């Protein structure tokens, strides 16, 4: 092109050539793919995502307002990495691991170019060495630990691909950047390590997930269980309760560490989590839930490139805790926003679009992400797991759209949220006919041992619910009065299962978390009532008579009872009494 | 001063300027025509070879001889506490014949992202005096709650009624309305302004008017100007600002138009792929900030093309806003005002704004039960048309008439009827008491004890 560039400098330093939203094209960068670069005079963080000739395409994690062609660019030479070490727990980060509370000290708004390290450089941790001078260590081995909170032991691991004999190691008070251990070859180990987010952390082997992740949500644990190390997708149109379900899981799932990614969602919702979690108490440890949680908040109005990064930042932190031998659960709300971020950047790059404008690599990126879940044998021979639960926000509530479909191909549990249920305030609005869990066979043997009959009960519930679905089609045509009494009874029992058991109030003190044992007892009561009811019908009793029995509303109140064991006995006695009276003299 | 006469291409609202010195992304631009007329614009894309400028007004008269002046700054608008009572155009020039606004400060209209850590959780109940909202989809200070409507429905009346009646009970605080018209007709705008003048709301309001006849490109900045004003009034002056944005669908159409002019790869139904992010940069400008006394509450209105809620505009809005109020054509045809369909409506922040000490302890249970009853009643309505009412069980018949009573007594109210929350809740109990006590499974026993009307037949009316 014959454009005079007289006003532009003509040296070979890296300079900006073009700015279009978050996409910046840089000349003479000589970088590698995914290197982090600092763009402009404000040194905004960005990442190289394409190289062509002497031009590199960089996506910038912050607003590029007033960035000009010819502004300088600096290459850090390293890919986007996170800091891993003591201080992660109870932290709140943005998508590129900048601590939001520290940013807030300066201003209520997020200004550009803020750089604050993710882990405090001043705070001193008490390090207790568990290895000695002369010990040989390799990547993944613990050299000691820091008690990060009263209930959490943070193991200090040798970074992957490092090995050697310890020349020097000492317990004591250290900051995350102090050397706590030196190897013979001079490698110094600190409490903190870095890891590039787009690369999964290595492990020894993957194992079969066979332990249930207890969530305290009845419909999930009883009907559609998720395994520790498994993957789940929660798709649903807006207002169907994705976020509430995700938050319930973050609160009550029996994992050691929770990583919660608010990806492109509402600011007020994140504030909700930020306010609520420190107040809630972990039923297992008795300490605030926040103490086992890492929050990553990249709200919908924060820069789109950082939104794309937030998911990787989260999963890398999850893998780090997994490598210490912990069970980690990661919630990503919502992966659709992540996919949209990819779409947005792809369209700025003028790439050839795939379905609905999403980039052609959407499926492989989603698969890559969910594949980072799993129950694994760590490099040091321990066992840990990362469970991934991704919310999906299908456009128009249509599950056939690309993000939902590509997610379903790689996740093994599907909790389908249903707007119809939500409209009638049936929460959690998880559709029992559409949802499934492929972990059922793997996790039920252990459940069956503690709760005999668990599997049979579950099957009976599912049968009952699908029978209800069939019958309700007939009812639509002829009205319920036209059905025979036993079928009317089926409808009523199914209604009881829906209202008394499946519905669960996330805002009720007691009902918000339902232990497995309580779930088991509730199902037993319902089925016992049902067995008796059918017997009564056979003995020519009427449906109305059965519905008027005092034990029925008692089952309804079970979910609100704190002392469920005593209450369950009471109800069980009442059921027996009710039906004995009903059968009365008619017993032969 | 960077001034150029090197326009190479003009396409729609876009100017392609060549041979410039380095120009910043999003820089504010003034364009001077050969006849002396000036227009304003913004840099959309900048590179060493060319700069793309988006002009906010129409491009009529622009030719290759036109001067393009780059300011080196981003768009800022003058803000002042004296803006209250003013009517301004879509780009902030006074329309009311009043004086120019003397700025106290200049603000970037893009706004800044509120750190989620610095937000305060919205939890103050706003009483709108409309039962379907207060009782079942409660609005909370700092919330963004859109009206999802269709063309020809009375969404404007509802928005006006809310603006008129909204109060936080037990408080007399500085309250302001920022009204932002995006591409609405002259008539509609008149209706709003007359109403504001009649009720005296204009004195505590600021009006931004981008009319249907104004250049559509202006629509991109009008809501941002309105929100910048709202934020200034809220966080600098401590006002509780209710911002009404109507009609967001017109805003999205303008985005589509620009996207097409830039030859971008379109996303769903022709809308740009960044529609979600763009809408978020508007809707997310609501809330409360720690240590500041004011608040910004948003009440956007959008008309769903073909009443289709899966259309990208309502769909993406629904994913960003904290709930939605559905205006129903069905109810409107049945002469129900306000025709708010509670079933698909939702307020996500309701639970933090209601309950003991805020409204009343029974509020949530009551609302849940009303929802469940009405939903079931509506299902039965369908069934009754097929099999006839007589084929229904007595329980079903009760629910059927419950749904009718609910629409007639709870949903329906006068255009000037301002129902206090107690009235709304009592009305709810009146209606629920037409159902037998043991069918109200959503309500804990102690509340039934306290509120269920055992003797009265609830059909007395008031």
CA–CA distance, A45 with A131 (Å, rounded to integer): 38
Q: What is the pLDDT of residue B441?
A: 82
Under 8 Å between Cβ of A76 and A38: yes
Tokens read off for B298? 């948003």
**Mutate which: B25, B74, B445, vs A, most A CBs within 10 A:** B25
- Selecting from B18, B27, B267 the residue whose C-beta is nearest the C-beta of A3 gives B18
Q: Residues 184-213, chain A: which have Cβ within 8 Å of B?
A: none
Give the number of other Cβ atoms within 10 Å of residue B176's Cβ.
22
Q: Which helix (H) or strand (E) holds B23?
A: none
> What pairs with residue A220 in β-bridges?
none
Task: Report CA A408 to chain centroid distance, whole Å.
Answer: 16
Residues paired with B6 in a beta bridge: none
Question: In this model, does residue A587 exceed pLDDT 50?
Answer: no
**d(C-alpha A96, C-alpha A313), whole Å:** 7
**pLDDT for A566-576, tens place per residue?**
999 999 999 99
pLDDT tens track for A51-69: 999 999 998 888 888 999 9
> Please, which pLDDT band fits residue A4 given cuts at 50, 70 and 90?
very low
What pLDDT is stored for residue A387 in this prediction? 97
Residues in chain B: 462
How high is the pLDDT of residue B1? Answer: 56
Minimal Cβ distance to B277: which of A268, A344, A476:
A344
Q: What DSSP character marks residue A417?
A: B
Burial (CB count <10 Å: 0-12, 13-18, 19+), residue A585: exposed
Q: Summarize the confidence of residues A484-493 as an average pLDDT.
A: 93
> What is the ipTM metric for this complex?
0.83
pTM surpassing 0.95? no
Q: How far is CA B5 from CA A475, B27, B44, B171, in A?
A: 75, 17, 18, 58
Residue B388: the pLDDT is 83
Pick the closest to residue B97 from B87, B108, B105, B111 (CA basis).
Answer: B87
Give contacts of A248 with chain B, Cβ < 8 Å. none
* Residue pair B432/B405 in contact by the 8 Å Cβ criterion: no
State whether A4 and B19 contact (CB < 8 Å). yes
pLDDT recorded at residue B228:
96
pLDDT of A588 above 60: no
CA nearest A504 in B: which residue? B442
Place of tokens 């499974």: B441
Cis (ω within 30 of 0) for the bond into A428? yes
For chain B, 462 residues long, give each residue's pLDDT as a single digit of tens.
578 889 999 988 889 999 788 999 999 999 999 888 888 888 989 999 999 998 887 788 888 889 999 998 888 899 999 999 999 998 888 988 888 889 999 999 888 889 999 999 898 999 999 999 999 999 999 999 999 999 999 999 999 899 888 888 766 668 899 999 999 999 988 888 888 888 888 888 999 999 999 888 889 999 999 999 999 999 999 999 999 999 899 999 999 988 887 777 787 788 988 888 899 999 999 999 999 989 999 999 999 999 998 899 999 998 899 999 999 999 999 999 999 999 999 998 998 899 988 899 999 999 999 999 999 999 889 888 888 888 788 888 999 999 999 999 999 999 999 999 999 999 999 999 999 988 888 888 889 999 998 865 444 444
* A418, two tokens: 């249903």
| CB-based contact B383 A479, cutoff 8 Å | yes
Alpha-carbon distance B344 to nearest alpha carbon in chain A (angstroms):
5
CA-nearest of B57, B71, B75 to B4 is B71
Contacts of A103 in chain B (CB under 8 A): 115, 117
Mean pLDDT throughout A519-525? 96
Question: Model confidence over A340-373: pLDDT tens digits?
Answer: 889 888 887 888 888 888 899 999 999 999 999 9
Answer yes or no: is pLDDT of A386 > 50: yes
Task: Give the integer Cα–Cα distance in Å for B67 and A52.
Answer: 35
Confidence of residue A9 (pLDDT cuts 50, 70, 90): low
Identify whether the C-beta of residue A483 lies closer than 8 Å to the C-beta of residue A467. Answer: no
Which residue of chain A is at minimal alpha-carbon distance from B438?
A553
pLDDT at A10 over 60: no
Which domains does chain B carry?
2-74 (2.40.10.170), 77-353 (3.40.50.12240), 363-461 (1.10.1140.10)
Residues 338-367 of A with CB under 8 A from B: 340-341, 343-344, 347, 350, 353, 356-357
pLDDT at A351: 84
Convert the pLDDT of each residue in A95-112 to its tens digit: 999 999 999 988 888 888
Mutate to test the interface with A, among B117, B274, B363 (most CBs of A within 10 A): B117
**Three state DSSP letters for B346-389:** EECCHHHHCCCCCCCCCHHHHHHHHHHHHHHHHHHHHHHHHHCH
In this predicted model, what pLDDT tens digit does every residue of A148-198 receive, in sequence order?
A: 998 899 999 999 999 999 999 999 999 999 999 999 999 999 999 999 999
Q: Contact A68/B22, CB-based, under 8 Å?
A: yes
Question: Which tokens in the block code for residue B425?
Answer: 């809740």
Residue B10 per-residue DSSP state: E
Taking contacts as CB-CB distances below 8 angstroms, the residues of chain A near B267 are: 343, 347, 356-357
Q: For the beta carbon of residue A569, count every other beta carbon within 10 angstroms.
A: 11
* Residue A296 contacts residue A349 (beta carbons within 8 Å): no
Mean pLDDT computed over A504-508: 89
Task: With CA atoms as reference, report the closest residue to B358 among B410, B448, B425, B296.
Answer: B425
| CA B78/CA B109 separation, integer angstroms | 10
Is the Cβ pair B117, A347 closer than 8 Å? Answer: no
Confidence at residue A1, expressed as pLDDT on a 0 to 100 scale: 40
Ramachandran assignment for A307, one of left (phi > 0), alpha (psi -120 to 50 degrees), beta (any other): alpha
A132 touches chain B (CB under 8 A): no
């Amino acid at each position: 092109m014959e454009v005079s560039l007289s006003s532009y400098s003509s040296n070979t330093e890296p300079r900006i050539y073009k700015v279009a939203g978050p996409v910046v094209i840089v000349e003479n960068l000589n970088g590698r793919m995914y290197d982090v670069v600092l763009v402009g005079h404000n040194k905004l963080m960005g990442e190289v995502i394409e190289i062509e000739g002497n031009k590199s395409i960089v996506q910038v994690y912050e607003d590029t307002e007033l960035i000009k062609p010819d502004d300088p660019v600096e290459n850090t030479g390293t890919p986007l990495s996170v800091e891993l070490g003591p201080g992660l727990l109870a932290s709140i980060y943005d998508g590129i691991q900048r601590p939001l509370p520290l940013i807030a000290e300066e201003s209520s708004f997020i200004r550009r170019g803020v750089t604050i390290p993710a882990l405090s450089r001043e705070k001193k941790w008490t390090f207790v060495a568990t290895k000695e001078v002369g010990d040989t260590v390799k990547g993944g081995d613990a050299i000691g630990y820091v008690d990060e909170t009263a209930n959490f032991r943070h193991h200090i691991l040798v970074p992957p691909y490092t090995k050697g004999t310890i020349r020097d190691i000492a317990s004591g008070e250290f900051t995350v950047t102090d050397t706590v251990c030196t190897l013979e070859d001079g490698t110094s180990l600190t409490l903190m390590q870095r890891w590039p987010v787009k690369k999964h952390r290595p492990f020894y082997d993957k194992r079969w997930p066979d332990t249930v992740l207890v969530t305290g949500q009845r419909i999930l644990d009883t009907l559609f269980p998720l395994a520790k190390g498994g993957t789940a997708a929660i798709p649903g149109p807006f207002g169907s309760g994705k976020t509430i379900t995700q938050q319930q899981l973050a609160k009550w799932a029996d994992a050691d560490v929770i990583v919660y990614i608010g990806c492109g969602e509402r600011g007020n919702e994140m504030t909700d989590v930020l306010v609520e979690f420190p107040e809630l108490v972990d039923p297992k440890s008795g300490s605030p839930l926040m103490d086992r949680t890492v929050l990553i908040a990249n709200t919908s109005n924060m820069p789109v490139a950082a939104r794309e990064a937030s998911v990787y930042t989260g999963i890398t932190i999850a893998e780090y805790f997994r490598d210490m031998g912990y069970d980690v659960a990661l919630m990503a709300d919502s992966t659709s926003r992540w996919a949209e971020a990819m779409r947005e950047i792809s369209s700025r790059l003028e790439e050839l679009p795939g379905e609905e404008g999403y980039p052609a690599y959407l499926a492989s990126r989603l698969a890559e992400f969910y594949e980072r879940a799993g129950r694994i044998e760590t490099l040091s021979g321990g066992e840990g797991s990362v469970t991934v639960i991704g919310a999906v926000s299908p456009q128009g509530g249509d599950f056939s759209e690309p993000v939902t479909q590509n997610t379903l191909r790689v996740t093994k549990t599907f909790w389908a949220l249903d707007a119809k249920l939500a409209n009638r305030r049936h929460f959690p609005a998880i559709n029992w006919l559409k949802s499934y869990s492929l972990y059922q066979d793997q996790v039920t043997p252990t459940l069956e041992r503690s709760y005999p009959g668990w599997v049979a009960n579950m099957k009976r519930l599912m049968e009952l619910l699908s029978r209800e679905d069939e019958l309700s089609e007939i009812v639509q045509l002829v009205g319920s009065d036209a059905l025979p009494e036993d079928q009317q009874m089926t409808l009523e029992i199914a209604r009881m299962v829906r209202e008394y058991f499946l519905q669960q109030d996330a805002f009720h003190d007691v009902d918000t978390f339902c232990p497995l044992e309580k779930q088991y007892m509730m199902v037993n009561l319902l089925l016992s009532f049902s067995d008796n009811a059918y017997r009564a019908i056979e003995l020519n009793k009427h449906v109305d008579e059965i519905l008027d029995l005092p034990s029925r509303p008692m089952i309804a109140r079970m979910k609100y009872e704190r002392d469920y064991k005593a209450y369950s006995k009471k109800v069980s006695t009442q059921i027996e009494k009710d039906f004995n009276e009903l059968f009365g003299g008619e017993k032969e | 001063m960077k001034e150029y006469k090197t326009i190479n291409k003009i396409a729609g609202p876009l100017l392609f300027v060549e041979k410039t010195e380095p120009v910043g992304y999003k820089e504010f631009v003034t364009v001077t025509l050969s006849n002396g007329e000036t227009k304003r614009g913004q840099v959309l894309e900048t590179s060493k070879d060319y700069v793309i400028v988006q002009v906010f007004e129409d491009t009529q008269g622009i030719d290759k001889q036109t001067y393009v002046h780059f300011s080196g700054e981003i768009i800022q608008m003058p803000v002042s506490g004296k803006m209250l009572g003013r009517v301004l155009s879509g780009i902030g020039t006074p329309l009311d014949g009043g004086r120019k606004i003397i700025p106290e400060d200049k603000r970037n209209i893009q706004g800044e992202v509120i750190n989620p850590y610095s937000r305060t959780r919205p939890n103050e109940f706003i009483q709108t005096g409309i039962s379907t909202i207060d009782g079942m989809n409660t609005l909370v200070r700092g919330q963004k709650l859109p009206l999802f409507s269709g063309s020809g429905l009375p969404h404007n009346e509802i928005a006006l009624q809310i603006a008129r009646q909204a109060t936080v009970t037990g408080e007399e605080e500085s309250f302001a309305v920022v009204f932002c018209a995006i591409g609405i007709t002259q008539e509609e705008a008149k209706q709003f302004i007359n109403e504001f003048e009649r009720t005296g709301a204009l004195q505590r309001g600021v009006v931004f008017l981008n009319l249907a006849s104004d250049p559509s490109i202006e629509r991109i900045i009008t809501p941002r100007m309105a929100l910048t004003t709202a934020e200034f009034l809220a966080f600098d002056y401590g006002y509780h600002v209710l911002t009404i944005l109507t009609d967001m669908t017109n805003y999205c159409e303008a985005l589509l138009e620009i996207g097409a002019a830039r030859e971008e790869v379109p996303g769903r139904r022709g809308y740009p792929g960044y529609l979600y992010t763009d809408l978020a940069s508007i809707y997310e400008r609501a809330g409360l900030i720690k240590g500041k006394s004011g608040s910004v509450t948003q009440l956007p209105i959008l008309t769903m093309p073909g009443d289709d809620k899966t259309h990208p505009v309502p769909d993406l809005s629904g994913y960003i806003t904290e709930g939605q109020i559905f205006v129903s054509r069905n109810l409107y045809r049945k002469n129900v005002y306000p025709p708010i369909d509670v079933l698909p409506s939702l307020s996500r922040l309701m639970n933090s704004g209601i309950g003991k000490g805020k409204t009343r302890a029974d509020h949530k249970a009551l609302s849940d039960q009303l929802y469940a009853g009405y939903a079931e009643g509506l299902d039965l309505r369908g069934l009754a048309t097929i099999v006839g009412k007589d084929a229904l069980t007595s329980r079903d018949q009760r629910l059927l008439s419950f749904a009718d009573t609910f629409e007639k007594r709870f949903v329906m109210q006068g255009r000037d009827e301002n129902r206090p929350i107690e009235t709304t809740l009592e009305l709810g109990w009146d209606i629920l008491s037409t159902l037998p006590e043991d069918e109200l499974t959503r309500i804990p026993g102690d509340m039934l004890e306290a509120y269920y009307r055992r003797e009265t037949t609830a059909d007395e009316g008031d």
